[in-house]
Chains A and B, each alone.
Chain A
Amino acid sequence: MESEPILVVENIKKAFGPRVILKGVSMAIRRGELKVLIGPSGAGKSTFLQCINFLVTPDAGEIRLEGRPIHHSRKRELYAYRQQVGMIFQDFNLFDHLTALDNVMIGLVRVKGMDRKSARERAMAEIERVGLKEHAGHYPAQLSGGQKQRISIARALAMDPKVMLLDEPTSALDPELIGEVLAVIRDLVANGMTMVMATHQIGFSRAMANEIIFMEDGLIVEQGPPSVILSDARCERTKEFCSKITELYGEAS
């Protein structure tokens, strides 16, 4: 039961100029787990997630995937590592000049060196998985926000990641579109994907997360199972924050 963690993040520190954003953040996640990051805006959640795949270079700390430390200064090793860590952004970041299908295919062709025919088949399979088969030929500007986010999830899944990082995947969406994206993520959890997700969807987190991590000011204030963090937190700040987002984002998921 207590298997080795697949991803270990140890004591990550990051400052932008004089401003210290992360003051030593650690996390270990086991295969198939979902960890939810919550915390006020500016707490450093995005920076932390981007440090995990070195989109932001941490000043200190270590990251190990399946026990192997990652040397981010070795370009090849870095690119190979990033293929194994999928990332979903708040504002989707689909490639604007490519159709949905090409968005999902491009990594397979350019990074994995797959031939176009197999890449197309794989990409279509992922697009079907997120329920957007009919939209494969559409460009991002022709898709709704929810559809864009689902395509971006398909794009990440096509690379066969071992871990996925999701940075507020539903925050840029109109309320009526949040459900379709959460449904896809729920499906990933059911299929055993390992994920770290920053979100304020409290109902979803309560139902799906193995652990909720409350971050503030570049530090983890408290972490634990949703039942504890959301209803019975030890720390006053955690309680305060949780009641605020519960009020704001409701119990519905």
Chain B
Amino acid sequence: MDELLFLQDEVVPALLKGLRVSILLIVPSAFFGLFIGILVGALRVYGSRPVVFAADIYVTLFRGIPLVVQLFIWYFGLPYLGIYLSPFTASIVGFSLCSGAYHSEYIRGALKSIKRGQMLAAQALGFSKFQMVVSVILPQGLRRALPGCGNEIIYLIKYSSLAYMVTCIELTGEAKILASHSFKYTEVYLAAGGFYLGLVSIAGWILHRLERRVAIPGFEHHRG
């Protein structure tokens, strides 16, 4: 009985508050991350040599350095340069840049898998390279990248829990505070885990719907 009351009066309200912050972190990060990923992915395939080089360096850095370290740099490091980010902003910047690097990898692969004939046909009609990428290649490439990018968004939901390391108190942060006050680690973290599971399930469902919705008739079973 005690347990239930504790859950109802303390755990749920605190975690709901954290959940709100988590969602506020995840949604824009997913959005910016995808945007960066598409841009960088396209530049890595269609950019000039120096652009490809710069984009490759970005991806190497942001995939190579642990995300916690990246967050520390944005939050604790930038003030040395006179730039002060709030914990919330630093988290979104960190998540978006890291997520964008991963997305760009899926998108690059998908763009490269588009048959050359599609490009030849567009060019033969008089498309500029930019028009060709935007109206012929990306619409096909993004569909192919969707499962990978969806996966990256699921990861993002989970690694958003690192925001508390730079004092942005989201779901995990709230859970940690509550647990260390009440000493009911198991209950609190189990509940928090349940919240993440819920988030991931909802995201998975949305992504699945999206994938079905944009499927090209006749191509459902991926004929390449």
Contact = CB atoms under 8 A, between A and B. Distances in A.
A104 to B, nearest CB: 10
A116 B124 CA distance: 21
A111 B117 contact: no
Contact of A107 (B125, B139, B143, B219): B125
Given A95-B136, A111-B131, A89 B216 contact: no
Contacts of A95: 118, 121-122, 136, 140
Majority DSSP secondary structure for residues of B touching A: helix
A249 interface: no
Interface stretch (A22-30, A35-43, A135-143): A135-143
A106 B128 CA distance: 13
B140 A139 contact: no
B219 A155 contact: no
Given A139-B216, A141-B223, A107 B126 contact: yes
B114 to A, nearest CB: 9
Contact of B124 (A53, A96, A110, A138): A53
A82 B123 contact: yes
Interface residues of A, number: 32
Contacts of B123: 55, 82
A149 to B, nearest CB: 12
B121 A141 contact: no
* Chain B: interface size category: 20 to 34
Contacts of B122: 95
B40 to A, nearest CB: 22
A185 interface: no
B122 to A, nearest CB: 8
Given A89-B117, A93-B121, A141 B127 contact: no
A80 interface: yes
Interface string A153-176: 001100100000000000000000
Given A55-B120, A138-B217, 11 more contacts: A55-B124, A79-B127, A79-B128, A82-B126, A87-B120, A87-B121, A89-B117, A95-B118, A106-B125, A110-B135, A142-B217
B140 A87 contact: no
A91 interface: yes
Of B117, B121, B123, B139, the most chain A CB neighbours within 10 A belong to B121
25 contacts: A55-B124, A80-B126, A82-B123, A82-B125, A83-B125, A83-B126, A85-B124, A86-B124, A89-B117, A92-B117, A93-B115, A93-B118, A93-B121, A95-B118, A96-B140, A97-B139, A97-B143, A106-B125, A107-B127, A110-B127, A110-B131, A140-B218, A141-B223, A142-B218, A156-B125
Among A75, A95, A106, chain B packs the most CB atoms within 10 A around the CB of A95
A94 interface: yes
Contacts of A91: 117
A94 to B, nearest CB: 7
Contact of B126 (A79, A92, A97, A138): A79
A75 B126 CA distance: 10
A159 B131 CA distance: 16
Contacts of A110: 127, 131, 135
Interface string B117-153: 1101111111110010001100110010000000000
A208 B131 CA distance: 37
